[in-house]
Structure 1
Amino acid sequence: MSAPRRALVLTPALLLLVACTGAGPAAPAPPVAVPTSSVAASPAPAPARTVVLDPGHNGGNGSARAEVTRQVPDGRGGTKACNTTGTSTDAGYPEHAFTWDLAGRVRTHLEAAGVAVVLTRSSDDGVGPCVDERGRAGQEAGADLVVSLHADGAAASGHGFHVAYSAPPLNAAQSGPAVDLAGDLRDALRAGGFPTSDYTGRDGLAPRSDLGGLNLATVPAALVECANMRNAEEAAVVSAPEGRERYAAAIAAGIRTFLAGLPA
């Protein structure tokens, strides 16, 4: 077996001596052996991850009835309205404002973790985009996943969140990964102290066939209905900045959990 490779290391003192003496360089110090097995290899960089956040509805939808009622593909061979105005609390705090604020907060959490974030709309005073455009946003961005952000407008007695995914599945992303994403979001929201819905879905999960934004997705996609805005207790939570921050932290945690499970 050949002798291990040895590296010559000049200490700062020897470098100074070489630079300052007029009698020529001093005799080199004995070389310091650095076994090649002790040099740690640089870790491979983590793959870049991209997430599409889809804040539901838009602030201009209410004044653009013709546009938002225009029929677009629903992903299952039928059509549905381009979009809707969304719901609101009884005090008038609109769903579109809640989802827009929430998306910005989730984005901040994800970007701090090194995740690239794409939003399906750029402001809260526009119209649309339609659900079919939102459904294609993940694949067009080359994203690892899509999370659509909403709040519900059910009977005031109902409370709790639920996470929807497309079912029956229409492609490989919907048949398994989307269900896993929905489960990770559900678990993170539970860990954040939010109760699961007592009026729809089961155990916080809701398979849906009627949501075009999920049906048209070919990357893992899920829709979070964070709360019932018509329930007085939950309306107070979604209306408060600290409440929205709690939702954002939980949703971001669920997304990070799913991303951590993806192959390198």
Structure 2
Amino acid sequence: MSYVGPDFDPPQPRRSPLRRPLTVTVAALVVGAVVGLGVWQAVGDSGDGSGTNSAAGRSPHPTPTTAPSATPSPSDDAKDADETKAASPTPSGSSASGPAASGPLKGKVVVIDPGHNPGNFQHTTEINRQVNIGTGMKECDTTGTSTNNGYTEAKFTLDVSRRVRTILEQQGATVKFTQDGARAWGPCIDERARIGNEAKADAVVSIHADGSAAGNRGFHVILPGSVHKGAADTRPIVASSRELGERIAGNFVRATGSAPSNYVGERTGLVTRQDLGGLNLSTVPKVFIECGNMRDTNDAALLTSGAWRQKAAQGISEGIVSFLRG
């Protein structure tokens, strides 16, 4: 997610008075990795691994050693092509899941929100239209960010989202998308929230990648703050969304070996915000996850690796499963 435009304004640094046990554990993993063998070895992961910090005067932290570099291999590219073909949207552009399989999540509904849309670049007039997010007006959507080599956030979010869908459907969940690459642009941020609400989703996860400065690394999960203004009232979902976010953060560390963000969230992997329409307008548990920083070459090497994206999908899915099973 590029912190420019709707739902993507720069977060302001804040110090949380409380740190839940899980987030302390996440931070402890990172610290332990510096003096030991690293989170990667601690969790037994031997694979290839894996916004913008606008706070004035805040210097980037050193690049964490717990998120090793990875260069996509030819086998990754071939795998990506096969999986993209297999996971491509239906001709009608339907975002609905197929019939749910039997499994522990049968009867549960999960909405996955792949951030942005590959076609937003060609529809700037439409995505610049203002929509009401309860606390004010924001643009309908943005184009998202990309790596320095041109791999777009919209392509990344669709790929990871489709991988998540496959995993969750195997667990018996019904999975719905806000968009599956078949529509020309959008949807707007208010419609994305409405899709989750109307589905009466048990959990909604919006998948993104950040567009921050080089040297800023790691993932973070964005939680809804308490908002009660206009059409927005997040009070009923704040606690459940935090639980969802904490479970995703913990499982994301274990699955990918990536460290929590070194530039927002005070290395807890969690950030609370009140300015995101996608969260403000939600009436069901919802979080955003920024899987890494596309503008940092080390993080970009992970984000462009098919093997790492599968790990990211696994971590997100395991967090959702853990939340839904209680």
Q: Same fold (TM over 0.5)?
A: yes
TM-score, length-normalised on structure 2?
A: 0.64
Scaled by the length of structure 1, the TM-score of the pair is 0.79
Higher relative contact order (CA 8 A, sep 6+): 2
- The one-character-per-residue Cα deviations of 1:88-110 (angstroms, maximum 9, x if unpaired) are 00010000000000100000000
SS in 2 for 1:54: strand
What is the CA distance between 1:75 and its match in structure 2? 2.7
Unaligned runs of 5+ in 1: 1-44
Q: Which residue of 58, 69, 87 corresponds with 2:128? A: 69
- 1:252, 1:92 → 2: CA distance? 27
Q: Give yes or no for contact 2:251–2:316 (8 Å, CA) kept in 1.
A: yes
Aligned pairs for 1:131-146 within 5 A: 131-146=189-204
Q: After TM superposition, which residue ranges in structure 1, 4 or more long, deviate above 2 angstroms?
A: 168-175
Summarize the Cα distance change of 1:156–1:125 in structure 2 as closer, same or farther, 3 Å threshold: farther
Displacement after TM superposition at 1:188 (Å): 0.7
State the match for 1:181 in structure 2. 244
Decide which of 149, 153, 165 is 1:107's aligned counterpart.
165
Over 3 Å counting, the alpha-carbon distance change for 1:249 and 1:175 in structure 2 is same
Between 193-202 and 85-94, report the one with greater CA deviation: 193-202
1:218 alignment partner in structure 2: 283
The percent of aligned pairs where both chains have the same amino acid is 45
Q: 1 CA distance for matches of 2:105 and 2:291?
A: 31
Conservation of the 8 A alpha-carbon contact between 1:100 and 1:124: no
Q: CA deviation at 1:135?
A: 1.2
**Which of the pair has more CA radius of gyration?**
1
List runs of 5+ in structure 2 lacking aligned partners.
1-103, 228-232
Displacement, 1:72? 0.3
SS of the residue corresponding to residue 60 of structure 1 reads helix
User: Structure 1 CA distance, aligned partners of 2:279 and 2:318?
Assistant: 21
Change (3 A) 1:67 1:93: same
Could you say which residue in structure 1 is the equivalent of 2:9? none
Change (3 A) 1:55 1:46: closer
Q: RMSD value over aligned CA atoms?
A: 1.4
What is the one-letter code of the residue matched to 2:248?
L
Partner of 1:54: 113
For the structure 1 residues 173 and 191, does the alpha-carbon distance in structure 2 shift closer, same or farther, using more than 3 Å as the test? farther
Q: How does 1:162-173 map to 2 (within 5 A)?
A: 162-169=220-227, 170-173=233-236
Deviation at 1:125, TM superposition (A): 6.0
Structure 1: distance between partners of 2:154 and 2:105:
34
